[in-house]
Amino acid sequence: MSSVIKSMEKNNRTKPRPPPIGSTGAIGWLRQNLFSNIYNSLLTVICICGLILIIPAGIDWVFLSSQVAGDNRFACQNTGACWAWIDQRMGQFLFGFYPEQERWRPMVAFFLLLPALAPWLFERVPAQRYLRIFSIAYPFIATILLVGGFGLPSIASDKFGGFMLNLIVGLSGIVLSLPVGILLALGRRSKLPLIKWVCISFIEIVRGVPLITLLFVSNILLPIFLPPDATLDSVIRVIIMVTAFASAYMAEVIRGGLQAIPSGQYEAAKAMGLNYFQSMRLIILPQALRISIPGIVNTFIGLFKDTTLVIVIGLFDILGIANAMVANPDWLGLSTETYVFVALFFFIICFSMSRYSMWLERRLGTKGSNGWSS
């Protein structure tokens, strides 16, 4: 017995042999991840060939043989992209036809947005309470800055345009559609038949039609529906329609969250003596909203992308400005450059939104059962 143990100890003293060459390190990684079998190797080779075709040519087109200076397209005699229009047109792409000497106002509004958003997005922000108060005041401050009043010269909303318009419509839609969506979702699950049916028909009608038709409704039918001499600002009309559209989708997302809450939670809230609004606010909604975060953020992303649809009713958002520039004789034929440039704006914002939601999900998933925002 003891000799067996001894021999085992002896065996243990001999060092284990290293794994075969090619199963560890760089070669091992390559084998495992790129060339694990014939089929995978083939895919890898095809991918590498494709990337070799695309990436160097892309870099060459964007950077190496592109041109950044010049007054019009004739100045661009190179083979690559022509970025010469950016310094001329950047103002329009950002602000539309907002008067040039007043463009500091949307800039200030934009930079004030960051402290207004921070306390809602992140948990540990210095002076959180004051920032929250500030963020409640922010919509009014921003409106005054953009539209005018209190000594600032007033600017008509038909001057709004460019990416500023996308941000205005998108942010207003986001801020308004969440509460409206929550109300619609609660209404859809209400026990009162009339309220339930009103909410269901609103949600289904709005989700059933394309946003374009709703925008046409706002543009063509609203003047018919309103008293003959009443008018409504076109930007406000768009915001209302985009909000209505997004809130119907939001309601369905939140309804999914509400349905996932076990009925024990509802019963427990009732047993504690909470009334309907208390139990919703304190027990049900915090949990339901937390599990619907991915869906909510997806709706926000969709809403923000949909702000480009305002071009079909004649507003000049960043895509509208791009279309106008592509048709301009000075810059004719630069469509690829222009649209890639515009796409970059949306990609940065939408991509960071989706990453933020993933981060939030991870954090809330590991942290336990606190509310979704501290």
151 binding another protein? (CB under 8 A) = no
73 binding another protein? (CB under 8 A) = no
Residue 106 tokens, joined: 């949307």
Report the distance separating Cα 323 and Cα 311, nearest Å: 9
Q: Kindly tell me which of 265 and 354 has the beta carbon lying closer to another protein.
A: 354
- Interface mask toward another protein for 343-372; x: CB under 8 A: x--xx--xx--x------------------
Choose which of 152, 212, 268, 282 interacts with another protein (CB under 8 A). Answer: 212
Cβ pair 192, 258 in contact under 8 A: no
Report the distance separating Cα 324 and Cα 332, nearest Å: 10
Choose which of 7, 32, 370, 374 interacts with another protein (CB under 8 A). Answer: 32
Report the distance separating Cα 239 and Cα 280, nearest Å: 28
Contacts of 274 (CB under 8 A, 6+ apart): 282, 283
Choose which of 16, 151, 193, 264 interacts with another protein (CB under 8 A). Answer: 193
* Number of amino acids touching another protein (CB under 8 A): 58
Residue 239 tokens, joined: 């915001």
Report the distance separating Cα 197 and Cα 109, nearest Å: 40
Q: Kindly tell me which of 34 and 144 has the beta carbon lying closer to another protein.
A: 34
What sign has the CA pseudo-torsion 143, 144, 145, 149?
positive
291 binding another protein? (CB under 8 A) = no
Q: Kindly tell me which of 120 and 197 has the beta carbon lying closer to another protein.
A: 197
Contacts of 246 (CB under 8 A, 6+ apart): 173, 174, 177, 181, 299, 300, 302, 303, 306
Neighbours of 208 (CB within 10 A): 9
Choose which of 58, 333, 365, 371 interacts with another protein (CB under 8 A). Answer: 333
305 binding another protein? (CB under 8 A) = yes
Judged by the rule CB under 8 A, the positions of this chain that interact with another protein are 32-34, 36, 40, 43-44, 47-48, 50-51, 191-195, 198, 204-205, 207-210, 212-213, 216-217, 220-221, 223-228, 301, 305-309, 311-312, 319, 323, 326, 333, 335-336, 339-340, 342-343, 346-347, 350-351, 354
